[in-house]
């Protein structure tokens, strides 16, 4: 017989993505065997993140402030908006330190199989920003897979009536990759997106 | 354990841990298979761009003692990537893939779900009308699941059906006297379209066009029958 609080915590951990019953049980055991301050710190961090973090009112990335540090920074070029599916994509681009514009987090990608249509994404909010923020270029940086490409297509269609340049991040061979081992689809994209050298 | 190779379509991909993916594949001779694709989400992916929806691949699988097979490699046979160049085609293809997942069974040796999916994606890629193709796909899927349109005799009482009004219940014809307790009246044109959609070979699906008027009659009936036959409502049913 498992004690009620243990059962409850297993159930809560199982709600996390990629966590099954066995992993949840291991996590619970880890918490139980941890010193009290460590377990308390975990609990405090969970409460704090829900109380203090919210979406930026402009770009919808997660932040402590009303407007996030990227949107508020005078060093960023606010005439270029990079549209990403989620926070993880934004963080990956920030880690690369190659983009100096601002962002717009869509909150997912179009996925009819999961019941997500264009109306479920923050496309209307993006269009409002384009109307009111003097945007010159929108970089569509959705993932280079079937659903990401379809989302990019929806965005292109929605953005076409606006006086704004629409660009798409390049797709093809990754740095450190090998042509010999690239599949036909990736090579095809690489040739489609070739540029003057 | 020995690896095996099989032709497959990806029906579902669920991210797992940091870089892995749990894939549901539809094979021609073994039905639906779940497999773990390790490292599938890394930038230097071992599966390249081939592990995605709307791709016919040769999948190498290694069975596992713990249950779920490992997907060890994937070679692209055909990509139906032009489907994503049109919003309506993409939505139609997504619906077809989702329904294929719901309608197929693990270990089912029947090649029909695989062949129907392949033919539907080929027809969409080739420029067939997405709305008609989705409806024909739905009708064929319902028929495959055992709800085929029974012509000639009433499914209510077994008696003959006259040339007058035609009534339909769960895609089966019923006579005028059984109709009041069993549902909906449709035109002879709609019945003929329904029969044609069931009969038409997979390779010729794009040659059958369903007019908006006929589709207005057939759409709700077919969707209702599909939901019942699947025992679930596809997420993509409302979006399409």
**Mean pLDDT along residues A116-141:** 95
Q: Token pair of B18, please?
A: 């940091």
How far B219 CA lies from chain A's nearest CA (Å)? 18
Give the separation between CA A107 and CA A123, rounded to whole angstroms: 10
ipTM > 0.85, yes or no: no
pLDDT tens, residue by residue, A56-95: 999 999 999 999 999 999 999 999 999 999 999 999 999 9
Contact B44 A153 (CB under 8 A): no
Q: How many other C-beta atoms lie within 10 A of the C-beta of residue A32?
A: 11
Going by the DSSP 8-state scheme, the letter that residue A145 receives in this structure is: S
Compute the distance between CA of residue B200 and CA of residue A171 in angstroms, rounded to an integer: 39
Identify the weakest region by mean pLDDT among A89-93, B167-171, B212-216.
Answer: B167-171
Contacts of B81 in chain A (CB under 8 A): 146, 149, 185
Nearest beta carbon to residue B235 from set A114, A146, A157: A114
Phi and psi angles of residue A131, each rounded to the nearest 5 degrees, phi first: -65, -35
The span from the CA of A169 to the CA of A177, in Å, is 18
pLDDT of residue B172: 66
Instruction: Check residue A19 and give its pLDDT.
Output: 83
Confidence check: pLDDT of B167 > 70: no
Read off the pLDDT of each residue in B198-227 and give the average, rounded to a whole number.
90
pLDDT digit string, tens, across residues A157-174: 999 999 999 999 988 887
**Nearest CB to B17: which of A18, A110, A183?**
A18
Helix (H, G, I), strand (E, B) or coil at B171: coil
CA B104, A144, A172: angle at the middle one, nearest 5?
Answer: 120
Average pLDDT, chain B: 85
Identify the pLDDT of residue A56. 97
Q: How many CB atoms lie within 10 A of CB A60?
A: 23
Tell me the pLDDT band of A55, cut-offs 50, 70 and 90.
very high
CATH superfamily name and code, A1-34: RecR Domain 1 (1.10.8.420)
Enclosing H/E stretch for B215: helix B212-230
pTM here? 0.85
CB contact under 8 A, A112 and B87: no
Q: Contact A104/A59 with Cβ under 8 angstroms?
A: yes
Exposed (0-12), middle (13-18) or buried (19+): which is A40, by Cβ within 10 Å?
A: exposed
Question: Using CA atoms, how far apart are residues A104 and A85, in angstroms rounded to an integer?
Answer: 9
Could you please report the per-residue DSSP string of B10-66?
EEEEEEETTTEEEEEEEESSSBEEEEEETTTTSTT-TTTTTSSTTEEEEEEEE--TT
Check CB contact of B131 with chain A, cutoff 8 Å. Answer: no
Q: Say what the pLDDT of residue B178 is.
A: 74
CATH topology of domain A77-170+185-192: Dna Topoisomerase Vi A Subunit; Chain: A, domain 2 (3.40.1360)
DSSP letters for A113-143? GGTB-GGGSTHHHHHHHHHHTT--EEEE---
Tell me if chain A has a CB within 8 Å of the CB of B17: yes
Of A84, A89, A127, give the one whose Cα is nearest residue A106: A84
Paired with B74 in beta bridges are: B59
pLDDT tens by residue, B104-128 = 998 888 899 999 999 999 999 999 9
- For residue B25, pLDDT over 60 is answered with yes
Rounded CA separation B139/B147 (Å):
9
- The residue count of chain B comes to 240
Helix axes B112-125, B87-103, angle to 10 degrees: 180
B4 forms bridges with which residues in the sheet?
Answer: B61
Q: Where are the domains of chain A?
A: 1-34, 77-170+185-192
Please state, as a whole number, how many other Cβ atoms lie within 10 Å of the Cβ of residue B101: 21
What's the confidence (pLDDT) of residue B164? 52
B80 touches chain A (CB under 8 A): no
What number is the average pLDDT over the span B132-158?
A: 82
Q: What string of H, E and C letters represents the secondary structure of B133-163?
A: HHHHHHHHHHHHCCCCCCCCECCCCCCECCC
Domain annotation for chain B: domains and CATH numbers: 4-79 (2.40.50.140), 85-239 (1.20.1440.120)
> Tokens 């009536």 identify what position?
A161
- Taking a C-beta distance cutoff of 8 angstroms, is the pair B53, B12 a contact? no
Strand partners, A9: none
* Separation in Å, CA B43 to CA A159, A171, A177, B34: 29, 12, 9, 23
A148 to chain B: which residues are within 8 Å by CB? none
Using the Cβ of B135 and the Cβ atoms of chain A, whether some distance falls under 8 Å is answered with no
- Summarised one tens digit per residue, pLDDT across range B30-85 is 899 999 988 887 755 567 778 899 999 999 999 887 778 999 888 889 989 889 88
Which position has the token pair 């409302």?
B238
């Amino acid at each position: 017989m498992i004690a009620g609080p243990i059962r409850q915590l297993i159930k809560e951990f199982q709600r996390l993505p990629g966590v099954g019953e066995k992993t949840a049980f291991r996590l619970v055991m880890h918490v139980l065997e941890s010193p009290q301050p460590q377990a308390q710190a975990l609990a405090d961090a969970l409460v704090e993140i829900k109380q203090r973090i919210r979406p930026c009112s402009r770009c919808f990335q997660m932040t402590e402030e009303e407007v996030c540090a990227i949107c508020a920074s005078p060093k960023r070029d606010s005439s270029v908006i990079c549209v990403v599916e989620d926070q993880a994509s934004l963080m990956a681009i920030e880690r690369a330190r190659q983009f100096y514009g601002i962002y717009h987090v869509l909150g997912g990608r179009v996925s009819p199989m999961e019941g997500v249509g264009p109306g479920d994404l923050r496309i209307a909010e993006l269009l409002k920003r384009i109307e009111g923020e003097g945007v010159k270029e929108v970089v569509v940086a959705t993932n280079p897979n079937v659903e990401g490409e379809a989302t990019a297509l929806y965005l292109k269609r929605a953005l076409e009536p606006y006086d704004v340049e629409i660009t798409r991040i390049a797709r093809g061979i990754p740095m450190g990759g090998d042509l010999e081992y690239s599949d036909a689809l990736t090579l095809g994209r690489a040739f489609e997106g070739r540029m003057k050298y | 354990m020995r690896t095996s190779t099989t032709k497959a379509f990806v029906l579902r991909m669920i991210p797992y841990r940091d870089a892995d993916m749990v894939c549901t594949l539809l094979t021609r001779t073994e039905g639906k298979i779940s497999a773990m694709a390790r490292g599938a989400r890394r930038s230097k992916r071992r599966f390249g761009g081939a592990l995605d929806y709307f791709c016919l691949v040769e999948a190498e699988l290694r069975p596992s003692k713990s249950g779920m097979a490992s997907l060890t490699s994937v070679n692209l046979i055909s990509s139906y990537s032009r489907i994503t160049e049109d919003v309506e085609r993409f939505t139609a293809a997504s619906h077809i893939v989702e329904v294929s997942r719901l309608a197929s069974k693990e270990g089912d040796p029947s090649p029909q779900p695989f062949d129907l999916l392949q033919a539907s994606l080929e027809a969409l890629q080739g420029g067939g009308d997405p709305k008609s193709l989705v409806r024909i796909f739905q009708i064929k899927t319902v028929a495959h699941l055992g709800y085929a349109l029974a012509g000639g005799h009433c499914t209510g009482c077994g008696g003959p059906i006259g040339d007058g009004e035609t009534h339909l219940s769960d895609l089966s014809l019923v006579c005028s006297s059984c109709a009041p307790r069993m549902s909906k009246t449709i035109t002879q044109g709609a019945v003929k379209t329904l029969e044609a959609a069931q009969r038409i070979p997979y390779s010729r699906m794009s040659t059958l066009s369903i007019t908006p008027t006929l589709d207005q009659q057939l759409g709700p009936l077919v969707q209702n029958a599909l939901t019942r036959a699947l025992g679930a409502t596809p997420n993509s049913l409302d979006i399409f």
